[in-house]
A and B are shown apart, each in its own frame.
Chain A
Amino acid sequence: MYAQMVETGLKQVQTRADMSAEEQAFQARIDAGVKIEAKDWMPEAYRKTLIRQISQHAHSEIVGQLPEGNWVTRAPTLKRKSILLAKIQDEAGHGLYLYSAAETLGVSRDELLAALHSGKAKYSSIFNYPTLTWADIGAIGWLVDGSAIINQIPLCRCSYGPYARAMIRVCKEESFHARQGYDIMMKLAQGTPEQKAMAQDALNRWWWPSLMMFGPSDAESVNSAQSTAWRIKLFSNDELRQRMVDQTVPQAEFLGLTVPDPDLKWNEERGHYDFGEIDWEEFYNVLKGNGPCNKERLRTRVKAYEDGAWFREALVAHADKQAAKKAAA
């Protein structure tokens, strides 16, 4: 979801008959709930799938700092500014936990960043939308981090040890993100008519992109089925999206705000909310690079990397100098 539509490289889910003896033994461990660690034997496709998924998840955290960074200098109070800075620092930390987990699979940080900067590697579609008002910061914490939590809790139980453990750390910190967002929404929704209107406007713009975060329905997806067999993915995109809607609608009602979906209705028979059709054209278009902020996001990341090169090189030169001094002493 932060890693949407990850390719496994396989055309169909592997059956026992397709598997070598090693692959069968590996699958038996997965089925028994045994955690796979970095130096364990694993199928190449499992390794590649995880590298893609974990690195795209990491890229999402780092790029995800940018929409919020936009409002740091314009937070309404010093307290809100400190809180927003703390959240942005957390996102950097989350990106780093995930890069570390990805690197245990035999890929370097430089390779991963090169893939991001060239546009080869993706990050979550949600971060290609602009933050137009302060209320957007509230909506992002509430809806985007809220959706991330729903995706990330099952990942704490995924089969790959380093990824699962990184997710446990992330989940502990993520609930502050969702709460600070909802806290902002409450303040605005219970404020002046202008503040409430600003909150409603942010909800209007962030609702559908947040639902799209979970990815298209994957009932037919070979990649999703294989990821499920490998216990990387534990729930379908639709299940997670339904969970998000069911949890969030009462929260919107408490705020006195309207979810921008005329088809939203509680279905007593199903025990879930029915909701309207998602415009998947928009999703694919944003993934392709045509969202409101794709070019700006990538440009900002590339610039930060290139502008920081002299500093990184200076640190290495300093370290080498100190090491040489020590050796000579």
Chain B
Amino acid sequence: MSKEWPLWEVFIRSQHGLAHKHVGSLHAPDAEMAINNARDVYTRRNEGVSIWVVKAADIVASSPADKDALFEPSNSKVYRHPTFFPMPEDVKNL
């Protein structure tokens, strides 16, 4: 009975200055093959300058069921937005 290869999540930085973005997943026996396979699967059209692969088992995610409670603190703090503070027209650069 063969062992199934671990699952890796793939993140690609498409050009310098941008952050790595999650693009999908793949199976590979080790990190080196994961990077090479990610290159073949996710960057055939020059879409990458950098690849991160992370074992799916190492990713910790917030639970969808907790979404409302987890993000509640930001719902009622509209004063965090600049638009909450109208400025007089005559005042520049604020």
Contact = CB atoms under 8 A, between A and B. Distances in A.
A318 interface: yes
B26 A37 contact: no
B88 interface: no
B2 A166 contact: no
Tell me the dominant secondary structure on chain B's binding face.
mixed
Contact of A108 (B4, B24, B30): B4
Interface stretch (A75-83, A184-192, A212-220, A309-317): A309-317
Contact of B29 (A104, A166, A318): A318
What's the interface size class on B, roughly?
20 to 34
A89 B29 contact: no
Interface in B1-59: 2-5, 7, 23-27, 29-30, 33, 40-42, 44-45
A207 B42 CA distance: 32
Given A40-B64, A173-B45, A313-B2, A100 B24 contact: yes
Contacts, number: 58
Nearest to B45: A173
B45 A316 contact: no
With a 10 A CB-CB cut-off, give which of A40, A93, A100 has the most chain B CB atoms: A100
A108 to B, nearest CB: 6
A96 B41 contact: yes
A161 to B, nearest CB: 11
A316 B7 contact: no
A316 B2 contact: yes
A315 B33 contact: yes
Contact of B4 (A100, A110, A319, A322): A110
Contacts of A40: 64
Given A103-B25, A110-B4, A312-B2, A319 B44 contact: no
Given A101-B24, A316-B29, 8 more contacts: A41-B65, A96-B24, A104-B25, A313-B2, A315-B30, A319-B29, A319-B33, A322-B30
Closest 8 CB pairs of A and B: A319-B30, A319-B29, A315-B29, A100-B25, A100-B24, A316-B29, A40-B64, A93-B41
